[in-house]
Amino acid sequence: MKPLIFIREPQTPKEFVAYYLVRYEVLRKPWNKTEGSEKDEIENDCVHAMACDENNNVMGVCRLQFNTETEAQLRYMAVVKNAQGTGVGKALIDFMEWKAIEKGSEKIILQSRENAVGFYKKCGYTIVEKSFLMWGEIQHYLMEKKL
Ligand SMILES: CC(C)(COP(=O)(O)OP(=O)(O)OC[C@H]1O[C@@H](n2cnc3c(N)ncnc32)[C@H](O)[C@@H]1OP(=O)(O)O)[C@@H](O)C(=O)NCCC(=O)NCCS
């Protein structure tokens, strides 16, 4: 059964801890990366979104940054294992696309891990090019969607 999904921006320090923890657990820990490696220097300038269930457990997270007046970029998309495939990722993308439109963005780009390319295609993104290899093993693809 599909869970109830509530998308919102983390507000309190406690919510930000839960938010970054999902990022770390899904995108860094499996590759033995250190805590802290899930953040970068522009977090304060970005839009952050988290998907919660009805008990306020964080099921997924995502970040939107603004590269130029017209181009936004999705980063750090992560859904916890037991919630994957239940619509959480799609709901986060929908939310961030509205945020980008509100800001006047005309296009969203992203760097997709190879395993997630099919997901982004389902969300309307197309491959621009094969881009870089992260940590010597995770192939990335530059993808985009016109808003
Ligand atoms: C990739 C990821 C973000 C997708 O989120 P999700 O919540 O599992 O996906 P959803 O349930 O919203 O799926 C939306 C649609 O995409 C499809 N889909 C989901 N993951 C897919 C995948 N890896 N390949 C192909 N299709 C996929 C779903 O079947 C669904 O299709 P439907 O609309 O026809 O039912 C999530 O699985 C994840 O966090 N994976 C591990 C971390 C990762 O790779 N993050 C991306 C970094 S770039």
- Interval 88-118: pLDDT, tens: 999 999 999 999 999 999 999 999 999 999 9
Mean pLDDT of 20-32: 97
What is the CATH number for 90? Answer: 3.40.630.30
pLDDT band (50, 70, 90) for residue 2: confident
Which of 33, 82, 122 for a ligand 1 pocket mutation test, highest count of atoms within 8 Å of Cβ? 122
Is 79 touching ligand 1 by the criterion CB < 6 Å? yes
Residue 104 belongs to a domain: yes
Domain, as residue range, for 73: 6-109
Residue 135 belongs to a domain: no
**Rounded CA separation 61/52 (Å):** 9
Residue 90 belongs to a domain: yes
Mean pLDDT of 38-61: 97
Residue 115 belongs to a domain: no
pLDDT at 70 over 90: yes
pLDDT of residue 50: 98
Residue 82 belongs to a domain: yes
The CA-based dihedral angle spanning residues 131, 136, 137, 138, taken in that order and rounded to the nearest 10 degrees: -40
pLDDT at 1 over 80: no
Residue 25 belongs to a domain: yes
118 CA from centroid of ligand 1 (Å): 7
SS3 65: strand
Residue 65 belongs to a domain: yes
Share of the chain above pLDDT 70, in %: 99
Q: What is the DSSP letter of 119?
A: H
pLDDT of residue 3: 78
The DSSP annotation for 8-53 comes to: E---SHHHHHHHHHHHHHHHTGGGTPPTTTT--TTGGGSEEEEEE-
119 CA from centroid of ligand 1 (Å): 4
Is 85 touching ligand 1 by the criterion CB < 6 Å? yes
- Domains held by the chain: number: 1
pLDDT at 78 over 80: yes
